[in-house]
Structure 1
Amino acid sequence: MESSPVYTRLTPATIKTSSSSTISSMKEEEVNRCQIQEWYPKFKSVSIKTLIHELPESFVEYLLDDSGPFVLPASVSNDDALPNRIHNPYEEEDYQVSDGSGDEAEPSSPPSFPELELKIRESIESLGGAIFPKLNWSAPKDSSWISTSGTLRCASFSEIALLLRSSDSLVHDLCHAYDSCGDRTLSRPQKFFLALRKWYPSLRPEMEFRCFVWGQCLVGISQREVTTFYPALCEKKDDVKALIREFFGNNVRQKFESENYTFDVYVTEDERVKVLDFNPWGAFTLPLLFTWEELEQNLREESDSVAFRIVESQCAVRPGIKTAVPYDYLDTSEGSGWDQFLRNADVELHRQTRSPEAGA
């Protein structure tokens, strides 16, 4: 997968970061702490129910293999093969591979992971029949479009395999997790894990928040879903901020060992806070309604307050920038295409904010 066209044309020279100090100070151990199999056991009581399976190397190689057409594992039946999206090459008359001698060769045997599939099937059943998957760090959010529901909801091994194999963003976990580490010695983790997280259809996206921690102090909170304006959230923002601050002090600050990091939470209707994820400070982590410069400026000002940002009007909605690479790999340097795009977006946002229709 090192030869993936999505990533190989992006070199370290194109990396745009918030500051050189942020990246150079990131360590492998900090990235490792953000793996779900590392943090979940400590936060199990305040997170959503999750079952984690170590992946055999053969399955990792299957995810990385882009040398031919997408073939589902051998045990997946025709009913599970999602025929509208993925075809069984054995049933396609035009699927022929030449061996160079003029004779038509048979397609290679599809992969088989019977032990893993059995464990996953049992886990899905124990979690209520539906889950959403993620690897050590990332979920295959960029491939949700290929599922029947348009979400990450999976009820079978075949749906999980389809999402994982269709995701470009998972290349980060498989090949590039340590690229931003100043003390990098690894190219990939020694082991990969598949986390099956219980699917909750009633979760409200406006109640997900990303929290920014520097020096073990909570310095910022951002609404996680920035592409939509939720009027009801404006009325709750002070209460939500207080709940998250209390939760951080009671449940996160003394348990998570890194000095600088981010973590995502969900606030339930009965005002309980649940940990969803941990990520490093900077690098491939999205700052959402902040910029890393703004967060670091707040630190330089030695403010004791926690900056809390939500989308407070329709004009403040951010466009959803969905890319197949980590945020930090985008070339947003001055004069680049992404730099001009973001500048134009900011100009349009300010124009709308100042317009009479916006109430200015």
Structure 2
Amino acid sequence: MTSTWPVLSREDVIAFQFSSWFSTFSFLSIKSTVIPLADDFRSYLEADGVFVPTGSENLPPKSTLEDDRDHDCDSDDEVASSAVRYAFPVLDSQIRATINEYGGAVFPKLNFSSPKDAAWILPSSSPPLRCTSPAEVYMLLKASDFAVHDLSAESVIEGCVDNDGDDDRDRGTTTRGGGGSTGGAEEGYKLELVLRKWFAIDPSREMRAFVRDGVLIGISQRDANYYEFLNEPETQCTIVSSFVAYWTAHVKPKWTGPASYTLDVLLTRDLTRFHIIDFNPYAPRTDALLFTYDELATLFVAATTPLSSSPAPTLRVIDSRAHPAATRNAPQHQHNMVPLEALALSEGRTVEELSTMWMDQIRRGAVESDDDGEE
């Protein structure tokens, strides 16, 4: 009987971090820069509160803000002024250089996780996850619960077959993601910042493919909205046949990680090719979207049964506006969208007012950090 999920080792999981696969597939992916992060940046991400490091934001002339500070100080400012100060001038420079190289905007992630759950923290007038300064990169990562997953090797390898109580000698000092010498997957795990060239993505062309033991068994629409053109039989036939051909030619022979994985892509406008967005483990931590993993296991058995005709992968799209996935009114990631500090400011205010006020709070903290550095 086929298990729902294949067994994952620590080394299997590490194969999915961005820097492990990007060099092989950069020709199919989005322009991206990987920046190794020092341990003090992890400390910043783990610190309480959402605030930006000193020098990370292009602030207006200080004189225009000083009057506001004199007349608009409150207990939150006093708490911020007593907190530990962080500054990353070298990292700030690297981020600014990458932003300039990529046309003025990037979207960030860490080794595995994108801070999609924190998109609310940027101004409502800004496209999702579009960052034009180091401060915006830091705010997204700082406010994201998803990013917490990447901070330690221990959380990254959770659930792996060789992550048990008898293997403590392999976990040692590197369970915080640092560069210890304990062996196993942790030895090679180092926190990284990934900056990818930002561009507007058409969500109707985002797909997730499921590969089990080297067999492409399913393709799912990622965006939870109904698109009429995706339900046209001719369009579906084009997507499936072109996807299989392109994956067979360009991904399958070059992928050196585990034989089971998921693949996030953006289809080209003519639906005949794709750009790789990410690889993820074939595991419970990766959303099966319009499938269930039990259904995928059944599809895998059907595709690998002796004398089977190697059926094409199953394509799932939202087939009507009444589809359960298209009728959810709650925003994505609402369970971890807003930190408590923001909730304290939110009473009686619209989302736009809250976002503006939250940004003002963060800027005041950044100005105070600059002032403290001059004393």
TM-score past 0.5 threshold: yes
Given the alignment, which residue of 307, 314, 317 partners 1:310? 317
Shift of 1:300: 2.3
Q: Does 1:56 find its partner at 2:67?
A: no
Between the aligned partners of 2:96 and 2:127, the Cα distance in structure 1 is: 21
Residue 229 (structure 1) aligns with: 226
**Is 1:26 the counterpart of 2:3 in the alignment?**
no
Identify which of 82, 90, 102 aligns with 1:107: 82
CA contact (8 A) 1:132 1:152 kept: yes
Does the C-alpha gap of structure 1 residues 77 and 208 become closer, same or farther in structure 2, counting only changes over 3 Å?
Answer: closer
Determine the structure 2 residue equivalent to 1:127.
102
| Partner secondary structure for residue 131 of structure 2 | coil
Structure 2 partner of 1:264: 264
Pair 128,74 (structure 1): closer, same or farther in 2 beyond 3 Å = same
Q: Runs of 5+ in structure 2 lacking a partner? A: 61-67, 164-169, 178-185, 337-375
Aligned identity (percent) is 34
Q: Which protein has the bigger helix share? A: 2
**Is 1:143 equivalent to 2:109 in the alignment?**
no
User: Please, what TM-score do these two structures have when normalized by structure 2?
Assistant: 0.71
Aligned to 1:179: 158
One-letter amino acid of the structure 2 residue matched with residue 22 of structure 1: W
Within 5 Å, give how 1:145-224 maps onto structure 2. 145-148=120-123, 149=126, 151-175=128-152, 176-184=155-163, 185-186=170-171, 187=175, 188=177, 189=186, 190-201=189-200, 203-224=201-222
Q: 2:5·2:293 contact (CA, 8 Å) conserved in 1?
A: no
Q: CA deviation at 1:307?
A: 1.1
In structure 2, C-alpha distance between the alignment counterparts of 1:162 and 1:125, rounded to whole Å: 19
Shift of 1:254: 1.5
2:57/2:133 contact within 8 Å kept = no
**1:314 aligned counterpart, secondary structure:** coil
Aligned to 1:10: none
- Gaps of at least 5 residues in structure 1 are 1-18, 81-86, 98-104, 326-360
CA distance in 2, matches of 1:259, 1:170: 26
Alpha-carbon deviations, 1:149-173, whole Å to 9, x = none? 2611101100001100000111111
- The one-letter code sitting in structure 1 at the alignment partner of 2:92 is E
**Residue in structure 2 matched with residue 282 of structure 1 by the alignment:** 283
C-alpha change, 1:77 and 1:314, in structure 2 (3 Å) is closer
* Separation in 2, partners of 1:290, 1:88: 53
| Change beyond 3 A, Cα 1:253–1:117 | same
Q: In structure 2, what is the equivalent of residue 357 of structure 1? A: none
* In structure 2, C-alpha distance between the alignment counterparts of 1:88 and 1:135, rounded to whole Å: 34
Counterpart of 1:294 in structure 2 is 295
**Matched residue of 1:290: which SS?**
coil
Match of 1:75 in 2: 55
TM-superposed CA distance for 1:272, in Å, is 2.9
> What is the TM-score when the length of structure 1 is the normalising length?
0.74
Tell me the CA shift for residue 219 of structure 1: 0.7
Distance 1:76 1:128 in 2: 19
Residues 252-286 of structure 1, C-alpha deviation per residue, up to 9 Å, x if partnerless? 11211211111111111143311110000022100
- Would you say the 8 A contact 1:73–1:110 is kept in 2? yes
Please state whether the residue corresponding to 2:219 is helix, strand or coil: strand
Deviation at 1:321, TM superposition (A): 5.2
Contact 1:206 1:223 survives alignment (8 Å):
yes
CA displacement 1:95-135 (0-9 Å, x = unmatched): 446xxxxxxx9614520101111011001100111111010
Q: CA 1:309 to 1:106, structure 2 compared with 1: closer, same or farther past 3 Å?
A: closer
Among candidates 322, 332, 340, match of residue 333 of structure 2: 322
Asked if structure 1 preserves the Cα contact closer than 8 Å seen for 2:14 and 2:20, the reply is yes
Residues 130 and 78 of structure 1: is their aligned pair in 2 closer, same or farther, counting only changes over 3 Å? closer
Query: What is the Cα deviation at residue 322 of structure 1?
Result: 2.2
DSSP 3-state at the match of 1:288: coil
- In structure 2, distance between residues paired with 1:321 and 1:163: 16
**Which of 81, 92, 100 is equivalent to 2:73?**
92
Aligned with 1:170: secondary structure?
Answer: helix
Amino acid at match of 1:259: A
Aligned length: 289
Matched AA of 2:111: N
Indicate the residue corresponding to 1:248 in structure 2: 247
Contact 1:169-1:324 at 8 Å conserved across structures: no
**One-letter amino acid matched to 2:5:** T
